[in-house]
Structure 1
Amino acid sequence: MATVALQSTEGKWIMASTIMASAMAFIDATALNVVLPSLQQSLRASGPDLFWILNAYLLMLAALILIGGTMGDHFGRKKIFMAGIFIFILGSAACGISSSAPMLIILRVMQGIGGAFMIPGSLSLISSSIREKERGKAIGTWSAATTLVTMGGPALGGALADAGLWRYIFFINVPIGVVALLILAFKVRETKDKTSSKKLDFEGAIAIAFGLALLTFGFLRIPTVGFSHIQGYGSVTAGLLLLLAFVFIEKKSPQPMMPLNLFHNKMFSGTNLLTFFLYAGLGAGMLFLSLNMVQIQGYTQLQSGLTFLPFTIFMVVNARFAGGLADKYGPRLFLITGPFLAGAGLLMLSFVGQTRGASDYWITFFPGILVFGFGMSLTVAPLTAAVMGAVNDQFSGTASGINNAISRISGVFANAILGALAVLFFTGALQKELIGLPLHPQQKQVILGQAINLGDAQVPSDLPASVKKQIKTVYQTSFTKAYKKIMKVAAGLAFLAALTAFLSIKNKPG
């Protein structure tokens, strides 16, 4: 298929459909962070249940997004893109009627399968259909629009959650998906790599899916059973072995879904390592910031969502502009400065302790969110353009899949590893805070057992009223200490991303 101009009628339809479909997938991550308290109460979900609700989706994205991109190259990018949208909206509707946490976790897997075929299709269609000279601008437009919706997700989620309508976070995807399908069916032509064979790497997909699932399970179980338990060390070890098997399979496969030779390109390797560090920091930072605001600081879920508006505004104003400048001057400066500023913002947020609630927002959380948002707005479009520009057009779907998989894998690790760390930090702080309180050892054990629920830790009902008040304060103090440590880890990951860019990113891919 011949490439089209960004401003042509077909170019506009391509942009509209890819933005709408991508927005559906991306909004889930940010909106769900805000509605977790309502969801937890409605479905009576435990702390680990919440991490699984987040990770079930990310896990399938990480495992199958690679093969989703390859299938688009093989069978037709539009065809696979539309199949993904269809599965995703079915999964979303089913999630909306879930009656229990286990049911929602299973249906989030279905959403993830749809997203794995849908997300790489967006950038792949843009890269293969839009003229090369306008590609950076197109990707910048896509980044700005999808990020606007993504970062607007917390405000929408908060409003719906406060109204008791958290399920509409899922239902809202249905009409958006249907419109995107109609646009693709009638306004966008098919495009695929005609030189590609049709053999797909299902062995690799199975290895990475089970490897990531076992790692996630192991890390989320360690705070409860300890690393010495087989559920801890056994799952983590088996997961690592399966990921090593995945690398071996990819090395030997005639048609690998992750061609390892692409990583011989220093630019491609560097952008993906940068993506891993940055998005791990982003995911952990946003999750724990949202939990802190609602469960500890006393924000309503709508107020928590609205706190991200400065982030959204920066993305809208800067993303397309940064994408255009990266086209002209190269991505290196943006990919060093952006992650560094994002890390600085996360570090600033790590120093915020107990506040008086939303009335203190402007002098507590706002400065950090401002710097964090500005850094991310300088990074998103140049990073995406650098990834896609590091490979030949015939690998556009595969490259998109790999980069999206890396960002989702980083989210899985952020939720699993940093979630486990947060429980350990919370438990350690609780133990110190409980010293000297008039409690029996058995009561202390019950209180410590609530650490797995983090900010939703419940005060035992059999305690005197005066002691209950003390325990509630202890929970708040301990969570705040854990939050501060996690945010510093998130900041460190963003700084690592900036260092990676400094060492590996060039303005002209080599």
Structure 2
Amino acid sequence: MGDGGDGGIRMGTPRGRWVLFTTVLGSGMAFLDGTVVNVALPVLGTDLGASMAGLQWTINAYTLTLAGLILLGGSLGDRYGRRKIFVVGVVWFAVASALCGIAPDITTLVLARALQGIGGALLTPGSLAIIQSAYVREDRPRAVGAWSGLGGVAGAIGPLLGGWLVAAAGWRWVFLINLPIAALVVAVAARHVPESRDESAGGRFDVLGAALAALALAGITYGLIERGSALPPVAAAAGVALGVVFVLLESRRSRQGARVSALVPVRVFASREFTAVNAVTLIMYAALGVVTFLLVVELQVAAGFSPLAAGSALLPIMLLMLLLSPRAGDLGRRIGPRLPMTGGILLCAAGLLLLTRVGPGSSYLLDVLPGVTLFGLGLSAAVAPLTATVLATAEERYAGIASGVNNAVARTGSLLAVAAIPPLVGLTGAAYTSPAGFTAGYRLAMLVGAVMMACSAALTFVTIRTNVLAAPATGTGPTSDTATAAGPADATVAAAPPTGGPVPPPTGPAGDRPSPR
């Protein structure tokens, strides 16, 4: 079955429900893993004798391989079969989760988390690709919306489930719970999910490009996290150099007649607005990564919250996004994305300023709830228009690549910020065992995050000048069906990121669509 064909399955039929159940459960497994791990960080860090760098690597090892390989994962599904690669990703993710659950030390855990990221890079884009190819064309928007909404629910319950698991069974069950879920997904997929692939896919895979991207991110991340020798600066410099080589390679492979398909075709950045909204994404999601990494740790280490209470503290963000993101998407299409995005990101900045009040003896109602509520309102206003703008500002033939690029950009922003900002604000060594010391660094990190959000809002206001979401009179082009169907639905997924916190991207800001190669 080719990309453009009619899948033949209808929503509401038994088979349609099985396909939706399988894709939601598979991607939801990755969503849950992303949101529950942060809640377990203080406990697992103490149990394994980890430093702050170890906690950073626990988050970043997963994000690193996911960000570096997610575009390649989508292409593999297009070429060899979306169900096949999806199932491989689910099994891979489960095996890596088992390794995480039995890890005897922090080094083993970090390596297993990197393997988890590879599984996530295979299964996450495949889940939405299966929906896009399996359902009849007129039912696809409804199916994508249902997938997104249910994925958002998975993200919403993640912190609660993580807190409960840590308290009732121990932090290892945060990972081991993935095994029965994966077994169910594989069994149902084998019986009820049809296979599909892109019959027109040609050219060799850009394996070198994917390797360069992953190595560049690894070198820079290592240089930002580690301290105490000459190796980290060398690694960071090597990472930057590899990043330059990656850009040059992709530029060469984007030319006509290249035998190897570019992982990131340079032509996708021909739109000034597309380039701008990805720059906004990078800064905004960098700030989000820091918040989701440090806030739940601060609540447990300094404010004395239990793991369950710390996870529950973030629930208003999820609920607000699930309720308000579709309305924000509609508003963005009516008046343009500039004002909703700018205003929403500024609300996020204000929320971070309020969250600087969290510390020893904090009250949830007085010190936590106002900040997370304002933060959730801001995300609800900003993420849906951002998602739709990504799709609307790229040529229609690059819709899948554009959303994949934006997803990778979001994860990269989170990856680099989680690596760089904690050491910058003094959170090193065993800082998470000292309430007073951690609070000082946490509050400074929230201020840095607020400044980053303000910069992201300013960039949005300056660069997004026109209503790129307005459908043309003919009703065709990338700003019509693609943007309107995908924007708000995918924005709901932003409530369930794989970055390890309550906001994206498990699937990223523009959804995890595969590259239509």
Range into which the TM-score falls when normalised by the shorter chain: 0.7 to 0.9
Q: Please list the CA deviations of residues 338-380 of structure 1 after superposition, one character each: whole Å capped at 9, or x if unmatched.
A: 3332222122212x053424xx110111101001112223344
The aligned length equals 458
Instruction: Give the superposition deviation at 1:92.
Output: 1.1
**Residue identity opposite 1:479 in structure 2:** F
**Residue identity opposite 1:506 in structure 2:** V
Q: Please list the CA deviations of residues 120-176 of structure 1 after superposition, one character each: whole Å capped at 9, or x if unmatched.
A: 223334445556776666544433322322232222111221234211111222222
1:61 to 41, 62, 66: 66
**Residue identity opposite 1:342 in structure 2:** C
Q: Please list the CA deviations of residues 87-129 of structure 1 after superposition, one character each: whole Å capped at 9, or x if unmatched.
A: 1112112211111111111111111111011122233344455
Q: 1:118 maps to which residue?
A: 123
- Mapping 1:6-155, distance limit 5 Å: 7-9=11-13, 11-128=16-133, 138-155=143-160
1:285 to 291, 294, 309: 291
2:276 corresponds to 1:270: yes
Q: Please list the CA deviations of residues 221-272 of structure 1 after superposition, one character each: whole Å capped at 9, or x if unmatched.
A: 2xx32xxx52232111111001111111111123111111111123432332
**Contact 1:96–1:168 (CA<8 Å) still a contact in 2?**
yes
**Closer, same or farther in 2 for the Cα pair 1:210/1:395, shift >3 Å?**
same
**Residue identity opposite 1:233 in structure 2:** P
Q: Please list the CA deviations of residues 376-406 of structure 1 after superposition, one character each: whole Å capped at 9, or x if unmatched.
A: 2334444334434544665454334322211
Residue 116 of structure 1 aligns to a residue whose secondary structure is: helix
**Closer, same or farther in 2 for the Cα pair 1:147/1:127, shift >3 Å?**
same
Residue 298 of structure 1 aligns to a residue whose secondary structure is: coil
**Closer, same or farther in 2 for the Cα pair 1:96/1:339, shift >3 Å?**
same
Instruction: Give the superposition deviation at 1:299.
Output: 1.1
2:344 corresponds to 1:338: yes
Instruction: Give the superposition deviation at 1:297.
Output: 1.3
2:487 corresponds to 1:496: no
1:373 to 369, 372, 376: 376
Q: 2:445 maps to which residue?
A: 486
**Contact 1:144–1:320 (CA<8 Å) still a contact in 2?**
no
Instruction: Give the superposition deviation at 1:295.
Output: 0.7
Residue 468 of structure 2 aligns to a residue whose secondary structure is: coil
**Contact 2:209–2:263 (CA<8 Å) still a contact in 1?**
yes
Aligned equivalents of 1:180 and 1:49: distance in 2? 31
Structure (1 or 2) with the greater helix fraction: 1
Instruction: Give the superposition deviation at 1:500.
Output: 3.8
Q: 1:248 maps to which residue?
A: 248
Aligned equivalents of 1:138 and 1:258: distance in 2? 27
Q: 1:452 maps to which residue?
A: 429
Q: Please list the CA deviations of residues 321-340 of structure 1 after superposition, one character each: whole Å capped at 9, or x if unmatched.
A: 44566567765554333333
**Closer, same or farther in 2 for the Cα pair 1:271/1:192, shift >3 Å?**
farther
**Contact 1:73–1:397 (CA<8 Å) still a contact in 2?**
no
Which TM-score applies when normalising by structure 2? 0.81
Aligned equivalents of 1:339 and 1:500: distance in 2? 11
Aligned equivalents of 1:74 and 1:399: distance in 2? 19
Residue 191 of structure 1 aligns to a residue whose secondary structure is: coil
Q: 2:6 maps to which residue?
A: 2
More moved, 172-181 vs 134-143? 134-143
**Closer, same or farther in 2 for the Cα pair 1:14/1:324, shift >3 Å?**
farther
2:206 to 182, 201, 209: 201
More moved, 176-185 vs 123-132? 123-132
Q: 1:435 maps to which residue?
A: none
Residue 419 of structure 2 aligns to a residue whose secondary structure is: helix
Aligned equivalents of 2:344 and 2:242: distance in 1? 34
Q: 1:363 maps to which residue?
A: 366
Instruction: Give the superposition deviation at 1:61.
Output: 0.4
Q: Please list the CA deviations of residues 171-207 of structure 1 after superposition, one character each: whole Å capped at 9, or x if unmatched.
A: 2222222333334333333333322214101111111
2:172 corresponds to 1:167: yes
Q: 1:467 maps to which residue?
A: none
Aligned equivalents of 2:339 and 2:173: distance in 1? 41
Q: 2:469 maps to which residue?
A: 507
More moved, 499-508 vs 398-407? 499-508
Aligned equivalents of 1:272 and 1:137: distance in 2? 27
Unaligned runs of 5+ in 1: 427-450, 458-474
Structure with larger Rg: 1
Aligned equivalents of 1:184 and 1:257: distance in 2? 28
Instruction: Give the superposition deviation at 1:419.
Output: 2.2
**Residue identity opposite 1:371 in structure 2:** L
More moved, 311-320 vs 285-294? 311-320
Residue 199 of structure 1 aligns to a residue whose secondary structure is: coil
- Mapping 1:423-462, distance limit 5 Å: 423=426, 451-457=428-434
Q: Percent of aligned positions with the same letter in both sequences?
A: 35
Aligned equivalents of 2:70 and 2:250: distance in 1? 15
Residue 179 of structure 1 aligns to a residue whose secondary structure is: helix
More moved, 188-197 vs 3-12? 3-12
Which TM-score applies when normalising by structure 1? 0.82
2:401 to 398, 403, 415: 398
Residue 305 of structure 2 aligns to a residue whose secondary structure is: coil
**Contact 1:277–1:494 (CA<8 Å) still a contact in 2?**
yes
**Closer, same or farther in 2 for the Cα pair 1:415/1:50, shift >3 Å?**
same
